[in-house]
Amino acid sequence: MVVATLTLAVLVSTAAVTSAASAEVSPSPVDDRPPSTSTAPLDPAVVEQGGFAPAAVAANFSAGYLINDHVMFNGSAMSESQIQSFLDARIGTCTNGKCLNVLSVPTTSKVADPMCDAYTGAASESIARIIYKVQVACGVSAKVILVTLQKEQGLVTRTAPSDSTLNKAMGYACPDTAPCDPGFAGVADQIYWGARAFDRYTMPPGTGPGTPFFTNFNWFPVGVPMQIRYHPNVACGTQTVTIRNKATASLYYYTPYTPNASALANLYGTGDSCGSYGNRNFWRLFTDWFGSPTTVSIPTAVQTRVAGVDRFDTSVQLSAAAYPAGASTVYIAVGTQFADGLAAAPAAARVGAPLLLVRSGSVPPAVLAEVRRLNPSSIVIVGGTSAVSDSVASALASAMPLATIERFAGEDRFATARQIAERGFPTGAPIVFLASGANFPDALSASAAAGHLGGPVLLVNGSASELDQESRALIESLGATTVVIAGGTGVISSAIESSVSTIPGVTSVVRRGGANRFETSSLLNQYAFADGEAGFIASGFDFPDALSAAAIAGAQGAPLALSNGVCTWVNSLDQFIAFEVSTVTLVGGTGVLGPSVGLYETCG
């Protein structure tokens, strides 16, 4: 196989519409030619937005994450009428009868294969209908198809396209170093084969014609740092890029270059002689037309944000929202330390109790007022007097003189967690979660999951050579048959995992640990939740908000996803979508969870 080369000449016209990226990929299903090397920019003088004001900001461009998998491979992203309306709005008045909003062409039937379902041809179909049917058949978003048509030939805003332009609409089978393959000419076939190519690049070896080349050659692996060139000219250099998902890899197979600093500095124009523009233009056009390509839509959900003036007030606001009619039990934990509250959340969830946060030596007025409103008959304080002082207990007793006040505490965080498990689950538990007592992220999501499944969270010394005898004995006495380990072997050792399997009665030991706290959270949620009407998002970089949220999420059978304040792990959001949740609650103000979290910006 010969890899095509290109002598590049960048021409910037001020009068004519140029190709967005002429023929950026063109593998034939027969000869498997590699991606082409086009880097031609869009003409800056052309108003290609079709009435849209530019929205893309270069600082938001991530070379390793151009588009979310769910966004790209969404077979129901747009209806046929929405596609038609979009084309009408972008094009306006057609001057030659060949524009995408007025053109109808014959289509041929395509048999089903591993990439696409069957396509039934017709004597005449509108372009909107063709795009819609290809979207459904191949599971590739109509938004992606529209952006590619614009990126390749500017067709979504052309008011007088030529036959030549239509014949290479998606750039499929049109390498820069050879003429277009006439077997794939025509706008209908271009749309079908171009969309199919996006699927094809994600397939394993042997799935269908052409797939072994792209997978075995492995130009653009997911999750592996690699050098991606700025330009066909090797002297222009490379950038180290870790491609984060299949959809982004697919775009790189389509356009094997990443924009350099000059191309990003002039986002709507051209950079220096080493600039390339295909992937930049795809990302920019998608952002301008449809919003960020790395955000997802949760159409079934009403979004709410619960936030107080501080961590204590946020716990109050969560309690008020979840228990408007009061609660028979209230759990109290210190809001300046994480350990005791981590274990308290599933116990609180078990009895439908809010978890309110207090200062070590005092009860904030808003918290005291919420306790009075809840009117509980039982108040449980977690942690010893060094964590929650006797003065706090006295203040609560004065506010609720008829309530029974208990304290669940041990000599350290590990013993306190065991106390909470023993006293908070007096009839036993079928499942126990183990989390590191040295840090909070993994335990936060474990607390919500454990609360939902009716089990406690035990804190352990993750570096130990075996599980401590006290925890072993407690797991046996609870009658647990399943133990879930939250975090990878760097957090809780393999030796502990092995020792757990020897506890009498334990028949299953499950580990859920990802590359980071956010992935671990997602994996724990996937394990614990098969459905749910609600979802919660809280910060994974600090514990207080997620601590209070975990108790409520566990009680409501709702997964708790962790965010870095800018984005949320994509698998967690995909879970919300799959469950068709009716509400998504953001826990914390915009200083904790920024506006992009509310837009469902995805990480990974």
pLDDT digits (tens, 9 = 90+) for 460-473: 999 999 999 999 99
How sure is the predictor about 45, in pLDDT bands with cuts at 50, 70 and 90?
Answer: very low
List the single range of 166-175, 274-283, 379-388 with lowest mean pLDDT.
166-175
Q: What is the DSSP string of 184-199?
A: G-SHHHHHHHHHHHHH
How sure is the predictor about 214, in pLDDT bands with cuts at 50, 70 and 90?
Answer: low
Contact 597, 535 (CB under 8 A): no
Which of the listed residues 290, 321, 344 is the one where a domain comes to its end?
290
At residue 516, the pLDDT reads 87
Query: Would you say residue 378 lies in a domain?
Result: yes
Secondary structure in 3-state letters for 90-118 = HHCCCCCCCCCCCCEEEECCECCCCCCCC
Using alpha carbons, select from 145, 131, 141 the residue that is nearest to residue 80.
131
Average the pLDDT over 538-565 and give the result.
Answer: 93
List the single range of 113-117, 171-175, 186-190, 369-373 with lowest mean pLDDT.
171-175
Residues 143-165 have pLDDT tens digits of 999 999 999 999 999 999 999 99
Single-letter amino acid code for the residue at 420: I
Q: What is the mean pLDDT of the chain?
A: 88
Q: Are residues 424 and 366 in the same domain?
A: yes
Using alpha carbons, select from 93, 111, 110 the residue that is nearest to residue 102.
93
Which helix (H) or strand (E) segment is 536 a member of?
strand 534-539
The answer to whether residue 51 scores a pLDDT higher than 80 is no
At residue 207, the pLDDT reads 65
List the single range of 54-58, 375-379, 452-456 with lowest mean pLDDT.
54-58
How sure is the predictor about 22, in pLDDT bands with cuts at 50, 70 and 90?
Answer: very low
The answer to whether residue 18 scores a pLDDT higher than 80 is no
Query: Would you say residue 439 lies in a domain?
Result: yes
Q: Are residues 174 and 267 in the same domain?
A: yes
Using alpha carbons, select from 241, 194, 224, 206 the residue that is nearest to residue 64.
241
Q: Are residues 426 and 494 in the same domain?
A: yes
Query: Would you say residue 527 lies in a domain?
Result: yes
The answer to whether residue 586 scores a pLDDT higher than 80 is yes
Average the pLDDT over 108-119 and give the result.
Answer: 95
At residue 175, the pLDDT reads 76
Which of the listed residues 267, 290, 313 is the one where a domain comes to its end?
290
Q: Which residues span the domain enclosing 259?
A: 58-290
SS3 label, residue 361: coil
Q: Are residues 229 and 369 in the same domain?
A: no
Query: Rounded to 5, what percent of the chain is helix, strand, coil?
Result: 40, 15, 50
Which of the listed residues 258, 290, 322 is the one where a domain comes to its end?
290
Give the CA dihedral 149, 151, 153, 154, nearest 10 degrees. Answer: 90
Distance from C-alpha of 232 to C-alpha of 25, rounded to nearest angstrom: 14
Beta-strand pair 238-242/225-229: antiparallel
Using alpha carbons, select from 487, 505, 539 the residue that is nearest to residue 496.
487
Phi first, then psi: what are they for 524, rounded to 5°? -65, -40
At residue 1, the pLDDT reads 20
SS3 label, residue 257: coil
Contact 442, 435 (CB under 8 A): yes
Burial of 450 (0-12, 13-18, 19+ CB in 10 A): buried
Query: Would you say residue 13 lies in a domain?
Result: no
How sure is the predictor about 444, in pLDDT bands with cuts at 50, 70 and 90?
Answer: confident
The answer to whether residue 43 scores a pLDDT higher than 50 is no
Please enumerate in sequence order all residues whose Cβ is within 8 A of that of 208, keeping only pairs 6 or more positions apart, or say none. Answer: 113, 114, 115, 200
Query: Would you say residue 133 lies in a domain?
Result: yes
Query: Would you say residue 385 lies in a domain?
Result: yes
Q: Are residues 212 and 89 in the same domain?
A: yes
The sheet with strand 355-358 has its strands ordered as 355-358, 329-334, 378-382, 404-408
Query: Would you say residue 33 lies in a domain?
Result: no
List the single range of 83-87, 541-545, 590-594 with lowest mean pLDDT.
541-545
Which helix (H) or strand (E) segment is 252 a member of?
helix 246-254
At residue 21, the pLDDT reads 32
Q: Are residues 203 and 317 in the same domain?
A: no
Q: Total domain count for the chain?
A: 2
At residue 26, the pLDDT reads 30
Q: Are residues 496 and 596 in the same domain?
A: yes
Residues 180-202 have pLDDT tens digits of 899 999 999 999 999 999 998 88
Residues 398-414 have pLDDT tens digits of 999 999 999 999 999 99
Q: Are residues 344 and 268 in the same domain?
A: no
How sure is the predictor about 223, in pLDDT bands with cuts at 50, 70 and 90?
Answer: confident
Query: Would you say residue 10 lies in a domain?
Result: no
At residue 94, the pLDDT reads 97
Sign of CA dihedral 192, 193, 198, 202: positive
Residues in the chain: 604
CA 144, distance to chain mean position in Å, is: 18
Q: Are residues 552 and 423 in the same domain?
A: yes
Place of tokens 């000599």: 411
Q: Are residues 282 and 334 in the same domain?
A: no
Place of tokens 């006290």: 470
Structure tokens at 277: 């523009």
At residue 19, the pLDDT reads 29
Average the pLDDT over 363-384 and give the result.
Answer: 97
The answer to whether residue 301 scores a pLDDT higher than 80 is yes
Q: Are residues 200 and 274 in the same domain?
A: yes
Q: Are residues 383 and 488 in the same domain?
A: yes
Q: How many CB atoms lie within 10 A of CB 104?
A: 15
Structure tokens at 211: 């797939």
The answer to whether residue 222 scores a pLDDT higher than 50 is yes
Please enumerate in sequence order all residues whose Cβ is within 8 A of that of 98, keeping only pairs 6 or more positions apart, or say none. Answer: 160, 161, 162, 163, 166
